[in-house]
Structure 1
Amino acid sequence: MGHLPMDLTDKIFLIAGAAGFVPSTVAQLYLDKGATVYGLDNFITGSNSNIELLSKYENFHFIKCDIVQGLPDFEEVKFDFILSLASSASPVDFEIIPLEIMMANSVGTQNLLELAKDHGARFLEASTSEIYGDPEIHPQVEDYVGHVNPIGPRSCYDESKRFAEALTMTYFRKYNVDTRIVRIFNTYGPRMRPDDGRVIPNFINQALDGEDITIYGDGGQTRSFCYVTDLANAIDHVLMLGDEMPYNIGNPDEYSIKETGELIVSTLESSSKLSYQELPKDDPRRRRPDISRVMKLGYSPKISFEQGIKETANYFKNIKNR
């Protein structure tokens, strides 16, 4: 097994979606290692505050850009790494901007792959555990091809990410582009949108406000939650050391939704009670990654769920107090 390079001062990265929650965290990781990072975003879901934070680094350059419409002229730059992190992954966006999500994961991804081909850059596609759909095997391993509803309410995201993986593999096979694919499982932490619509921000906001914690179904469905800096670290391991495709990345600790609600209430010392509502269509029953492949690269998650919840709750409190 190799070792992660700590000094990347001679490397140039392009990160699509840099104003987003996960991409801005990944960008900061590489800026801290001395790399030059170019960030692209059209702010359809990204936050200007994330770009303001990254702009404090003199080695960060931001260009407002829609990767679907075409990329800037980079004749003066030669990228070493191109990271495709531009798509929204929030369920609330599946109804609001479904076509934008599909286009980012198809045309946008191809534009980035073309740039990687032209620059001889290593390319990373940030895929998702959603490509497994409502899985029939547990935990999910990379060889599992999924159980996805192609016409369901989540299909704009699930199927376009499956297409993005196919596109990445096609550029690898046809053009010998140096590619990586990661399948990201549930991620949470600072910089997450409070209105993201996913379990952790919903529960934290409700707990902070003393409102009922909304549990869909009986709360028996499970998720595995990974803190965002752990996830960024996993991406780094795959990008620098990975030699297979794809890699599941996340935290394999599994919690039922009911347990998650109870843990957040107790961790934040909230007065909130659990409240039960009807389960949405195509909501996966069980979700847990087998991460043995990425662990062979030396990766392991470090942040406990309780610690991560406290950090995320503090971030949301600060946003409310601005």
Structure 2
Amino acid sequence: MNTRKGDLINKWLKNELSEEELKAFKKLDDYDSYMMISEKAKYFKSPDFNTDDSLKNIESKIKDKKSSSYKIRYQYLAAVAAILIVAFSIFKIFNINSDVKIFKTEIAKTQTINLPDNSTVNLSANSLISFDNSAWDTKRNLTLEGEAFFDVEKGKKFTVETSYGKIQVLGTQFNVKARKYGFEVVCYEGSVQITVEDRIYVLEERDHFTLRNKKISKSKTVFTSPDWKRNSTILKSAALDLVLKEFKNYYDVDFETSNVDTSRQYTGSFVHNDLENALKSITLPLDLTYEINKQKVVLKAK
């Protein structure tokens, strides 16, 4: 492992990556493997481990032994610590009593997943779902990061867990978007129950629930399926900053926005299969221009 890669992994484990380092970390060949390990670790409970007591115990034993130099002592301590970290990681990864299934899509890619009860999930771009296949008969729980459309078979309670809250149904069609910059649920058939911070919201057919900047709103949709399944994204009164974040789920580009006001509101749509067309759909209504330089798009005011 080269030094640069080792430093990135070490900082990732400590949650100390800068924005630039995070971009470099995501470009590692085995980035998906690290993410899968991290995702699986959510389902496991590690044994009780008191770091302070363990280190004190190690230091005590080292001090009891005569050492020829401080260098030897700290090399030994570092070696023991490294062994503990590796052993602890191996326990978390391989001490698995469940059959956790994980599905992840890349930028601009989608996937259809058939669940054990014949329910289906259409996973949107740049998204991830996971569930315990071995416990599905008794507990139909699924975790989502990103966006997905669900067509649920009637039966026992079906629960979608996100970082914002839970969505529960018995049998229905609905779409969930749970990204870092916002949370939306649209019910297309039947009804769903959303629990956010211990508050319950019930959506009926065509209800659209939005949580953005800690503000909740409900509206109606005229559509019978989510926009991303029609290869487009529709946005209403959304800040340009949010629009560009949504854009990056479907196009592998970065934006240079130092010369524009990213708080400006945008209402409109862009397609997912034509970069130039999509950029024009966003820039023309806001009276902006753009230049494409490899994978960077520079936005400027006219």
What range is the shorter-chain TM-score in?
under 0.3
More helix by share: 1
Q: TM-score, structure 2 length as denominator?
A: 0.26
> Which protein is bigger by CA-based radius of gyration?
2
Greater relative contact order structure (CA < 8 Å, 6+ sep): 1
